[in-house]
C-alpha cells in the first residue's frame, strides 16, 4: 500500500469514477455540497482522499471525485493505492466534525448555539425563502467561520437570544438572528424596551406586538403542535413580523405563518415612524 498527492483534474476524476464498481450509492446532495466548497475555494489537502484496492477498484472517495468533476476545477488530493479490500467495512465510520466542533476549536463560547445561529443567519441572508432542513440548507464549517468574521455582532445577539428563550421559549437561534438583523438594520430603535416587554409582558395592552409574540411562543411551547416547538424558521418569521409591527407602532393581535410565506424583511427607518415613536415615548 502506498500514498501520493496528485493534482486531480475533472477529467481524471471522471476517468477514476469508471473504476467505481463496488461502492455505496452516490449521494447527489453530498456531491453538491463538496462541489460548492471547491467552487468557493474551501478545498484543502488533508490525509483524507481516495483509495483503490489491490485490483485498482475505487473503494473510497467517490463523492470527492464526483464533486471535482461537477465543480470543473483541479484540486490536490491524497491518493492511496493497494488498500486491502477487507478494510472497506471500517472506512468513514468516525464522527464527522461539526460546526460546533469547529467553533469550539477556535475558542468560541456557546459553540452549539453559535453554530446554529450562524447557520440560520447564513440562510436568512442568502436563501431567505428556502427550507432550513435538507441538503440545500447545509452550511460548511468554513462558511460558518467566515460568517463569524463578517458578523461578529452575532456573539452579543446570542446572549439576548438566550435570555428571550428563557422568557418565552422562542428558540435561541431565531431570537439571536432576530436580534442581530433588527439591530443592524435599525440602530435607531431602542431594543431595550422591546426585550423587556417580551421578557416580562408587564403593563402591555392587547395588540402590543411584544405581548403577541410572547403569548404565541408560550402557546407553541405548551400546545399540541410539537413539530413547531423547535422550528427556528417559523419562530424567526414570527419574531420579525412582530418586530416590524412594533417598530411601526402598529398593533398586531395574531401571528400566523401562511403556506409558502416568505421571510419578512426589516422595515427601513422612516421620518414619520421615528417622529411618532419619539412623541409616544416622551
pLDDT > 90 fraction of the chain, expressed in percent and rounded: 67
Q: Residues 237-261: what's their mean pLDDT?
A: 94
> How far is residue 61's CA from residue 119's CA, in Å, rounded to a whole number?
27
* pLDDT tens sequence across 132-169: 666 667 788 989 999 999 999 999 999 999 999 999 99
Count of Cβ atoms closer than 10 Å to residue 255 Cβ: 20
> How far is residue 40's CA from residue 77's CA, in Å, rounded to a whole number?
17
Q: Residues 88-112: what's their mean pLDDT?
A: 80
Show the cell assigned to 170. Answer: 422562542
Of 232, 254, 94, 99, give the one whose Cα is nearest residue 176: 232
* pLDDT tens sequence across 170-198: 999 999 999 999 999 999 999 999 999 99
Query: For the chain, what are the domain ranges?
Result: 2-90, 99-271
Angle between helices 154-168 and 172-185 in degrees, nearest 10: 130
Instruction: Give the least confident one: 68-72, 129-133, 255-259.
Output: 129-133
CA distances in angstroms from 114 to 134, 136, 172, listed in the order given: 20, 20, 9
pLDDT score of 269 more than 50: yes
pLDDT confidence band for 259 (50 / 70 / 90)? confident
Q: How many helices (H) and strands (E) would you count in the chain? A: 12, 4
Amino acid at each position: 500500500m502506498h500514498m501520493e498527492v496528485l493534482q486531480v483534474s475533472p477529467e481524471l476524476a471522471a476517468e477514476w469514477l469508471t473504476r467505481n464498481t463496488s461502492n455505496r450509492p452516490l449521494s447527489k446532495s453530498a456531491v453538491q455540497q463538496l462541489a460548492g466548497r471547491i467552487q468557493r475555494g474551501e478545498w484543502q489537502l488533508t490525509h483524507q482522499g481516495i483509495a483503490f484496492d489491490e485490483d485498482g477498484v475505487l473503494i473510497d472517495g467517490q463523492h470527492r471525485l464526483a464533486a471535482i468533476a461537477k465543480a470543473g476545477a483541479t484540486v490536490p488530493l491524497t491518493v492511496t493505492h493497494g488498500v486491502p479490500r477487507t478494510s472497506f467495512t471500517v472506512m468513514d465510520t468516525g464522527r464527522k466534525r461539526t460546526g460546533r466542533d469547529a467553533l469550539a476549536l477556535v475558542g468560541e463560547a456557546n459553540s452549539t448555539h453559535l453554530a446554529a445561529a450562524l447557520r440560520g443567519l447564513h440562510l436568512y441572508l442568502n436563501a431567505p425563502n428556502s427550507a432550513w432542513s435538507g441538503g440545500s440548507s447545509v452550511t460548511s464549517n468554513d462558511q460558518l467561520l467566515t460568517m463569524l468574521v463578517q458578523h461578529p455582532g452575532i456573539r452579543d445577539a446570542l446572549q439576548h437570544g438566550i435570555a428571550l428563550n428563557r422568557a418565552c421559549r422562542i428558540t435561541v437561534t431565531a431570537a439571536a438572528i432576530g436580534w442581530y438583523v433588527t439591530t443592524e438594520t435599525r440602530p435607531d430603535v431602542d431594543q431595550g424596551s422591546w426585550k423587556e416587554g417580551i421578557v416580562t409582558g408587564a403593563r402591555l395592552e392587547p395588540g402590543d406586538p411584544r405581548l403577541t409574540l410572547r403569548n404565541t411562543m408560550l402557546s407553541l411551547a405548551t400546545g399540541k403542535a410539537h413539530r413547531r416547538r423547535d422550528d427556528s424558521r417559523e419562530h424567526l418569521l414570527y419574531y420579525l413580523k412582530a418586530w416590524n409591527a412594533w417598530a411601526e407602532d402598529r398593533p398586531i393581535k395574531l401571528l400566523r405563518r401562511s403556506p409558502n410565506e416568505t421571510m419578512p424583511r426589516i422595515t427601513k427607518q422612516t421620518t414619520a415612524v421615528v417622529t411618532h415613536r419619539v412623541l409616544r415615548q416622551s
